[in-house]
Amino acid sequence: MQKRKLGKSNLEVSALGLGCMGMSFSYKPFPEKKDVIALLRAAVERGVTFFDTAEVYGPFTNEDLVGEALSPVRDRVVIATKFGFDINPDGSQGGKGLNSRPEHIKQACEGSLKRLKTDVIDLYYQHRVDPDVPIEDVAGAVKELIQEGKVKHFGMSEAAPQTIRRAHAVQPVTALQSEYSLWYRTPEAEVIPTLEELGIGFVPYSPLGKGFLTGKIDASTTFDKTDIRSIIPRFTPEARKANQALVDLLGSIAKQKKATPAQIALAWLLAQKPWIVPIPGTTKLHRLEENIGSVAIELSVDDLQQIESAAAKIPVEGARYPEQLEKMTGR
């Protein structure tokens, strides 16, 4: 497995990470705990060193899983988790939704450390920007956690360029995690240039378009009402039918490269910048191995131009989130 550094921070991780959310959150049915633990350890054996979780996934259960699976190999892995939601100790959602008050961040950190069975969090992201708390106060709270040795690196998620700049001035931001893939390219306009200028790494989540870019989903696929895709405008049957053209494009490149559409989608992301580290999620070993295979795929300048010119002619149908969730991004 190749390694990459997230920006100027010298935080070195595998070129592909593993997003753990779907193992216990958003994508039912969930696998059995023993199978998740086996998958996480299999990822480590195959060279994956970067694992992404959050206290709100569950809430709490995802961090418990990741902590149990990775504690025997803790010295070989980088664990990223997130704070910023108002969660009661019993796991129920608090009244505010978002909560990035400094005292809450410190409380959340203690809980995450315990569940992850570790004495330090490698990368600690603000999950969503809290409009009620100045970002300088958030960055200052994480800076104190870094000084106390409880956190190594500060991250942000779905933040706008001006917010990233303000936070970075207080405590250098190591990585931004936001959605980015061939079917969601908004970060290219302002976010990616800002990250390049400031020396911040980029960790794209949903790099396979919540499964759509794998080619395994079409207009006839049905989603359980507990599956987040059942409420996403981009996953209505009409939108899926319209967006199939993007999957067909990936499929045609995949044939040329003797690869799969998912591998081309990930290889395309890896080719954009040397400090981009996608975190596809999966609960299946064969998919994990397929995703890891993308790291070895070389896309030439001609390949990338071919993808670019074809993708430019395909308008993506449907919003990436329902309106209430989209309002929490890009602030």
Q: What's the CATH code of the domain at 70?
A: 3.20.20.100
Structural domain contains residue 220: no
What is this structure's pTM?
0.96
Structural domain contains residue 267: no
Domain count within the chain = 1
Q: Write down the H helix ranges in the chain.
A: 33-45, 61-70, 102-115, 135-147, 161-170, 191-198, 237-257, 261-272, 285-293, 301-311, 323-326
Structural domain contains residue 136: yes
From residue 292, give the alpha-carbon distance in Å to each of 24, 270, 282, 285.
Answer: 22, 12, 11, 11
Mean pLDDT of 161-166: 98
Question: Closest by alpha carbon to 188, among 84, 327, 311, 303?
Answer: 311
Catalytic residue (choose from 57, 124, 184, 205): 57
State yes or no: is 57 an active-site residue: yes
94-129 confidence digits (pLDDT tens): 667 999 999 999 999 999 999 999 999 999 999 999
Structural domain contains residue 326: no
AA letter at 234: R
Which domain covers residue 192, as residue numbers?
Answer: 3-208+272-297
Structural domain contains residue 82: yes
Structural domain contains residue 138: yes
| Share of residues in the chain with pLDDT > 70 (%) | 99
How many other C-beta atoms are found inside a 10 Å radius of the C-beta of residue 230? 12
Say which residues have a Cβ less than 8 Å from residue 189's Cβ, sequence separation at least 6: none
Structural domain contains residue 32: yes
Question: What per-residue confidence (pLDDT) applies to 26?
Answer: 78
Question: What per-residue confidence (pLDDT) applies to 113?
Answer: 98
Q: Cα 264–190–235 angle (5° rounding)?
A: 50
Structural domain contains residue 174: yes
Sheet with 18-19, edge to edge strand ranges: 18-19, 50-52, 78-83, 121-126, 151-157, 173-179, 201-205
| Share of residues in the chain with pLDDT > 90 (%) | 91
Helix (H, G, I), strand (E, B) or coil at 193: helix
